[in-house]
Chains A and B, each alone.
Chain A
Amino acid sequence: MKTSRLCPSPRRRAAVLCGVLSVMLACAAAHAADLPALWKERVKSVVAVEFFTETELDRRTSLVAGVVADNNGTIALPPGIVGARVTAAQLKDFRVHLPGDPASAYAKGEYLGQDNLSGWNFVRVEEKVRGRLTPVTAFAGKPGTAEPAMAEEVWGIGLRGKEEDFLPYLMVARVGLVQSLPERTAVALGEVAAPGLPVFNGEGAFAGIAEGGFGSSYLQYGARGGATPIMLMNVEESRVFVLAAEVTPWLTRAPANVMGRPIPWFGANVGPTDPELTAFLKLDAQSACSVSEVYESSPAEKAGVKAGDIIVALDGKPLPRLTPERVAMRFFDREVDRRAPGDKLAFTVLRGSERVELTATLGDEPKLAREAERKYFEKLGLTVREFVFGDGVVRRVKLAEQKGVLAHFVKASTPVSTAGLQPDDWIQEIDGTEIKTFAEAVTKLAAIEADTVRTEFVLLVSRRGETQVLRVKQK
């Protein structure tokens, strides 16, 4: 558009080409002239966050890039930075580094928890540096701004390592493709920002946030010839960004508590449906999701969902056609996750040749492994963890038969590890007494650990469906 206005009306083809070229050069020059000013402001919307994960024996450092979400010092960090086994209590010492400041001069951060819908983690930085930060939303484009067009130039921010004071650097690329995953997501022709950091358009408007986790396929040739397909993933820079219209609402989703509660719960394993099957079911114009398992006593079970059902519509609307198929599954999950416990979810399933209308009232997600209570017995060399709903699903144990505790951590060369206890073993009895609750296990083990006279104790554990009696020699 811009170029046509600037171009004189040409008569000859050569002149057109010449004109276009000169305009492109002019635009590039104008762009470059704008960029330092745009950069100076927008770089205030990014930070580096360092934190520590404390386990029984280790203290591991993590470094991630974050984006400033609001004026209250809220920082949004990308998903996947905290392991599923890690509790919020194990996350320590959040340090927020402003890019380019000496790495030793950081501000303290407080972990706010993980949002279930976006998967983002949130941190709040202490007040003293808030004035130097600008929320990325301050650079929002005008309402109604179109999606980045194909070949549009976009730019983003990367951060160097800690030893280089997290110096920010520029990345520029053109948009190659915009697709629904199910969020509108752009794939650029080159790396455009560090995962978790914002991308801007040529005018400096907030265009999206880069997402990690996308790999590229390569062939690796061995010295003797012969190629092996491998996938490489650039963990520091990403070519993919979720568009601003999708992520802007997420920036406001810092959870009210570190557990990220409340979390809505449907209670069924919903997976992708093979495109051949959707075609077979004459659902070519849309996607569908397959229910592969319905959990006991879940909202899905109460709503009458059966394993094998194929979900074809939500709230009376057919699922949109999304590719690849697993995106349809993400679409369904998102629809659940954007609701709250107690909300209704109306949907249509195909069951054999029948079409069945169902409504589920979403529940509260049962306690997650990261929320389970745990206790470390240092002398014995193990951490026990409360048995939670998901443990029953994995071990195929009915709710009524759930008991005992799990060995969360087993320290090497300690009495329990010598006895053969392994992480994830399900401890069902201690000294011949059935363990029903976490509290019972803790009482028993605490008494055993405190007893300086006794020489051994006995555990009954289950591993991969098979039980065995372990004799733990303390002396």
Chain B
Amino acid sequence: MNQGLREENFALRLVIGCEGRLLSGVRLLCFFLALPLAASAAVSRGFSRLLDAVVRIDVREVSFESGQKRYTGGIGSGVILNDDGFILTNAHVASPRAENINITLANLERVNARLVGWDHWTDLALLQLDLTDLKRRGLKFSHADLGDSDKMEPGDPVYAVGTPYGLTRTVTRGIISNNRRSFEDGVSTINGYETGLFNTWLQTDAAINPGNSGGPLVTEDGRVVGINSRGNNSAESLGFAIPINVAKRVVAELARSGAGGGVGAVTRSYLGLGFGPLQGLEEFYSLKQNTGVLINNVDPGSPAAKSGLKPGDILLTLDGAAVDGRFPEQLPPILDLIASKPVGATVKLAVRRNGQTNDYALLTEKLESRQGEAWSFEKWGLAVRKVSRAYARENQLEDANGLLVTGVQNGYPAAVAGLGRNDVITKINNEPITSLEAAKKLYETLAEKPDAVLLESRVNRQVSNRILKPKS
């Protein structure tokens, strides 16, 4: 796991549209263009079926960053997977923060959907149409057929279908530009959640714009081979899709874990290892080519650190299977292999150090995001997240207690008290904050009283005491 997470990946952006003034003008344009486009489309039966399975997704979601509960809107795309009304889209289109998810079907009818499962690590989310409502209104929909992304080769023609800038059912054409794209500029994030560690991408020159997110990348016969998720602001014709074979596994897990009604998730394992490509270092480490992967980083306090693994070690085998991390493109599958192990399982590693090979047995932990649960204490104008274990580890905090301040509202008590982003509130009125629930309870009793509240906060390792005076 990399530690130096950046809030934003500067080159790559997530392809999501935002409601704004621009759209009204674009919608007008759409009105004139829609008819000729539909009339001139001459496509295969499979492709036409696919078009009927692509939906527009309008999401209204809560944000806490201002210190208040605020609503924001976004537009994305999705593709219907089966007769149960499951829709695959991007995790950055529909997240657990969504209060309302509205689907526009191919027949332009609108229907609500619920979030079945969410996986920020692969940037995938699974929705389900409100079948009762569909039945009541007598609405029908079709679903897409999935292809095999492993078979895609550079040069293969592909189409992107989606809702760029809110333009429903837009088809653009291109080829597969690279079938195994990896990004070497660190871990990117969606709303602060880590993403993109465990897979490579299909790169295409089919035009992908904000709003295309979550829409399918398909073959000429309409089979879905990828989910469009990223574009590049400063370049033309650089779009990236999550391979459908990655999505198939994630969908199955999200559907299974989300069946009960809550938001499903993919459970992954964690060892605390960060890898680097070995290319060119084989001689230095006296290795044959295509043998092993370089351990670049060992998270402090992780199972790998506890077992004595060190940066500069070479991982040769994982549970007996040889590992080959010569090139950057080969690293995501190795991370995925570790993540796919059951939580709490023993993983056997053969590791080379100073020409000697040793065996290690590591107990996997559950992989956690650095992002803890978000909440806002509105009367204080304070937005927080629970400090996660991963955040505590990254920032060398003594424990994962406390609340991380993610935003304060100007002129509100938290801002007046001098709290700011990245402060960690560790005590409220001398009461240590071990959980978000505990903080909520304290808040409920304190927010109603006129008394000043004593807060202990930390930033880096520095402790401050602050007085928060409720708004009168």
- Is B274 within 8 A of A292, CB to CB? no
Q: Contacts A274-B467, A469-B296: A292 and B462 contacting too (C-beta < 8 A)?
A: yes
Residues of chain A in range 171-207 having any CB-CB distance to chain B below 8 Å: none
Q: Could you tell me if B467 and A277 are in contact, using CB atoms closer than 8 angstroms?
A: yes
Which of A290, A396, A432 is B461 in contact with, Cβ under 8 Å? A396
**Chain B residues whose C-beta falls within 8 Å of the C-beta of A432 in the assembled complex:** 284, 312, 354
Residues B452 and A460 in contact, CB atoms below 8 Å apart: no
CB neighbours (8 Å) of A276 from chain B are 417, 452, 466-467, 469
Q: Given A456-B284, A469-B276, is A280 in contact with B463 using a C-beta cutoff of 8 Å? A: no
Known: A274-B467, A471-B280, A471-B281. A293 touches B4 (CB 8 A): no
Task: Please tell me if the beta carbons of B463 and A292 are within 8 angstroms of each other in the complex.
Answer: yes
**Which of B280, B312, B456 is in CB contact (< 8 Å) with A429?**
B312
A310 at the interface (CB under 8 A from B): yes
Residues of A within 8 A of B298 (CB): 467
Residue pairs across A and B with CB atoms within 8 Å: the count is 91
B462 interface neighbour in A277, A307, A463, Cβ under 8 Å = A307
CB distance from B168 to the nearest CB of A (A): 35
A173 to B379, CA, bound (A): 49
If A458-B281, A458-B284 touch, whether A469 touches B466 (CB-CB below 8 Å) is no
Chain A residue numbers with a CB within 8 Å of B175 are none
Q: Are B462 and A271 in contact (CB-based, < 8 A)?
A: yes
Write the nearest CB–CB distance from B417 to chain A, whole angstroms: 7
Residue in contact with B463 in the complex, picked from A274, A279, A308, A396, CB distance below 8 Å: A308
Cα distance A153–B4 in the bound complex, in angstroms: 56
Q: Is the CB of B466 within 8 A of A274?
A: yes
**With A and B bound together, what is the CA distance between A352 and B465 in angstroms?**
11
A293 touches B463 (CB 8 A): yes
Partner of B465, one of A293, A308, A465, A466: A308
A273-317 contacts to B, CB under 8 A, are 273-274, 276-277, 279-280, 290-293, 307-308, 310
For residue B463, which residues in chain A have a CB less than 8 angstroms away from its CB? 290-293, 307-308
Residue B357 is within 8 A (CB to CB) of chain A in the complex: no
Query: Cβ of B155 < 8 Å from any Cβ of A?
Result: no
Residue-wise, chain A 338-375 has the 8 Å CB interface mask toward B (1 for contact) of 00000000000000100000000000000000000000
Tell whether, in the assembled complex, residue B418 and residue A466 are in contact, meaning their CB atoms are under 8 Å apart: no
A277 vs chain B, min Cβ distance (A): 5
Task: From B281, B418, B456, B464, name the one whose CB has the most chain A CB atoms within 10 angstroms.
Answer: B464
Partner of A466, one of B274, B280, B396: B274
The smallest beta-carbon distance between A354 and chain B, in angstroms, is: 13
User: Is B462 touching A468 in the complex (CB atoms < 8 A)?
Assistant: no
With a cutoff of 8 Å between Cβ atoms, the chain A residues found around residue B311 in the complex are 460, 467-469
Nearest-Cβ distance from residue B237 to partner chain A, whole angstroms: 28
Chain B interface size, under 10 / 10 to 19 / 20 to 34 / 35 or more = 20 to 34
In the complex, are the beta carbons of A308 and B297 less than 8 A apart?
Answer: no
How many whole Å from A107's CB to the nearest CB in chain B?
46
B368 at the A/B interface (Cβ < 8 Å)? no
Query: Would you call B294 an interface residue if the criterion is a C-beta within 8 Å of the partner chain's C-beta atoms?
Result: yes
Distance (Å) between the CB of A291 and the closest chain B CB? 8
Asked if A465 and B394 make an inter-chain contact with CB atoms under 8 angstroms apart, the answer reads yes
Contact of A290 among B281, B294, B464 (CB under 8 A): B464
**How many angstroms from the CA of A458 to the CA of B312 in the assembled complex?**
10
The distance from the CB of B438 to the nearest CB of chain A, in whole angstroms, is 20
Nearest-neighbour CB distance to chain A for B422, whole angstroms, equals 14
The reply on B472 being an interface residue by CB < 8 A is no
Q: Is A269 an interface residue (CB 8 A)?
A: yes
Q: Which residues of B contact A463 (CB under 8 A)?
A: 4
Q: Chain B residue with minimal CB distance to A310?
A: B465
25 contacts between A and B (CB under 8 A): A271-B462, A271-B464, A274-B464, A274-B465, A276-B452, A276-B467, A277-B466, A277-B467, A291-B463, A292-B462, A308-B463, A396-B461, A429-B312, A458-B312, A465-B3, A466-B2, A466-B3, A466-B4, A466-B297, A467-B298, A467-B311, A468-B276, A468-B311, A469-B311, A471-B281
Residues of A within 8 A of B (CB): 269, 271, 273-274, 276-277, 279-280, 290-293, 307-308, 310, 352, 396, 429, 431-432, 456, 458, 460, 463-469, 471, 473
* Given A310-B465, A352-B430, 17 other A-B residues pairs in contact with their CB atoms under 8 A: A271-B464, A274-B464, A279-B467, A280-B454, A290-B465, A293-B462, A308-B463, A431-B284, A432-B284, A464-B3, A465-B300, A466-B2, A466-B3, A466-B296, A467-B297, A468-B276, A469-B276
